[in-house]
Chains A and B, each alone.
Chain A
Amino acid sequence: MSHHHDHTHDDDPARAEALRAEALETLLREKGIVQPEVIDAIVQRYAQDIGPMNGARVVARAWSDPAYKTRLLADGTAAIAELGFGGAQGEHIVVVENTDRVHNVVVCTLCSCYPWPVLGLPPTWYKEPAYRSRVVREPRQVLAEMGLTLDRRVEIRVWDSSSEVRYLVLPQRPAGTEPLDETELAGWVTRDSMIGVGLPQAPVTERADG
């Protein structure tokens, strides 16, 4: 838009949203309903402390410790709590295991339910209509478009998170990772592999300059 006039809303929708959010926070603060420092703390927690690195530790432990894997598949919430993870949107986690014959993928068609304590907040594509509408009807095509082409003999199970359950995919441990310890393995576990739209990947090694 090249023209200017004094109605900010028309010129810059993002700015208008920011102002609208600010107006709401100001009103709630004036009424004593929210405190800015509480909001700051929540934002910081979800922006920095909670994310897929948590889920990666869970998966790496399951790959390294068969007894832990058994507990994880029997009671995901309790096994995940062993590593110190839990809380909002993780009150009841069910872990579904990928095998040579079955591939699992998670969606929430009605909103955007997602296991926050282990994956953090969902990426935009997970929340947008394209993924939510399509993955239940044409999961094979959707996964292929997202870079994951599965053998036609592999059954695809889509999990639509329509109740209080939050699903976490346990991806298969990649071949060739046998010598790695648990910490190294965690580097292979991607967010997308725990949603079911990708596979674990070798971590990008940091190259020394020169």
Chain B
Amino acid sequence: MDGIHDLGGMHGFGAIRMEPHEPVFHSAWEGRVFAMALLLSAGTLANIDRFRHAIERLPPAIYLGAGYYGRWLRAVETLLVDSGVLRLGELDADTPGVRAPAASAPAPAGAAAGALRTVPHPPRFHVGQVVRARNMHPPGHTRLPRYVRGKRGVVTIIHPAWVFPDTNAHGLGEHPQYAYAVRFDGEELWGADAEPGTAVHVDCFESYLEPE
């Protein structure tokens, strides 16, 4: 989905604020939310792709305002409502950001250990090959950032095959695919506004790419 989470290339967020000697968790609740999210997204109730998509589905203002672990907390709530573990009424009725259950929330499949898979055919693309990222705007989960869609790049690394997030996030099967590190030159992405001598490498699943 073309959501607020897909931040690459956007303007308007200002300076990067670094915090010297930053603690791992700023409050105890952040650590507990982190642990709960880890347990739930690696367990049988959900998977990492469903978890990421639950964060993406937050209303944009909440996504930006809640902070990292605030987003995680709301995503965990969403996952638990989606999978029927909690009813909306069981959570504080006054909890903005908790979405109604997805229209067709399928029963989540049991989580497999890790996302690595083997596929019975060789990779479609080779290192050095010129490819183009598809111009696609699926309403659901995807890991192809907006800023490379329709752009031309060169394959630099062939990664193993992994579970395909775009289907796995929606209970539509694993459909494992190879992924590729694709190098996009700064000028290809940003035109005359690019900084000279810069490139971005983006990991693209095979079906995100077409031969040029």
Interface string of B80-114 (1 = CB under 8 A from A): 10000110001110110000000000000000001
Residue total for A at the interface (Cβ-Cβ under 8 A): 66
Kindly state whether residue A97 has any CB partner on chain B within 8 Å: no
A157 to B99, CA, bound (A): 38
| Residues of B174-212 whose CB lies within 8 A of A | 179, 181, 183, 189-190, 193-205
B201 and A136 within 8 A (CB): no
Looking at the complex, which of A63-71, A109-117, A168-176 is the stretch in contact with chain B? Answer: A109-117
From known contacts A42-B39, A88-B38, infer whether A21 and B11 are also in contact, taking CB-CB under 8 Å: no
Size of interface on B: residues with Cβ below 8 Å to A: 78
Which residue from A109, A132, A140 sits with its C-beta under 8 Å from B198?
A140
Q: How far is the CA of A27 from the CA of B91 in the complex (A)?
A: 9
| Residues A165 and B181 in contact, CB atoms below 8 Å apart | yes
Among B7, B159, B181, the one with the most A-chain Cβ atoms within 10 Å of its Cβ is B7
Knowing A138-B195, A156-B197, the reply to whether A25 touches B5 (Cβ < 8 A) is: no
A158 contacts B201, C-beta separation under 8 Å:
yes
Known A-B contacts A120-B24, A133-B13, A160-B145; A46 and B195 likewise in contact (beta carbons under 8 Å): no
Tell me the B145-190 residues at the A interface (CB within 8 Å): 145, 147, 157, 159-160, 162, 179, 181, 183, 189-190
Q: Is the CB of A121 within 8 A of B24?
A: yes
Complex contact B7–A38 (CB within 8 A): no
A140 to B15, CA, bound (A): 14
B29 touching A18, Cβ below 8 Å: yes
Bitwise interface map of A from 100 to 143 toward B, beta carbon under 8 Å scored 1, else 0: 00000000011110000000110111011111111011111110
Chain B residue numbers with a CB within 8 Å of A132 are 7-8
B61 interface residue (CB < 8 Å to A)? no
Neighbour of A125 across the interface among B17, B31, B196, CB < 8 A? B17
- In angstroms, Cα B196 to Cα A163, docked, is 26
Determine if B7 and A129 form an interchain contact, defined as CB atoms under 8 angstroms apart.
yes
- Taking the closest CB of chain A, its distance from the CB of B165, in whole angstroms, is 8
Assembled-state Cα–Cα distance A161/B201 (Å): 9
B70 touches A130 (CB 8 A): no
User: Is there contact, CB below 8 Å, between B32 and A110?
Assistant: no
Q: Which of A142-167 contact B (CB under 8 A)?
A: 142, 145-146, 152-165
A128 to B66, CA, bound (A): 11
Q: Give bound CA distance, A102 to B24, whole Å.
A: 31
Contact of A162 with B144 at beta-carbon distance under 8 Å, contacts A17-B73, A20-B73 already known: yes
Name the CB-closest residue of B to A140: B195
CB of A78 within 8 Å of the partner chain = no
Contact assessment for A137 and B197 in the assembled complex, using a CB-CB cutoff below 8 Å = no
Chain B residue nearest in CB terms to A22:
B29
Pair A110/B143 contact, Cβ less than 8 Å: yes
Is B197 in contact with A155, judged by CB distance below 8 angstroms? yes
| 8 nearest A-B residue pairs (beta carbon) | A109-B8, A163-B203, A42-B35, A43-B31, A21-B29, A133-B10, A130-B13, A39-B35
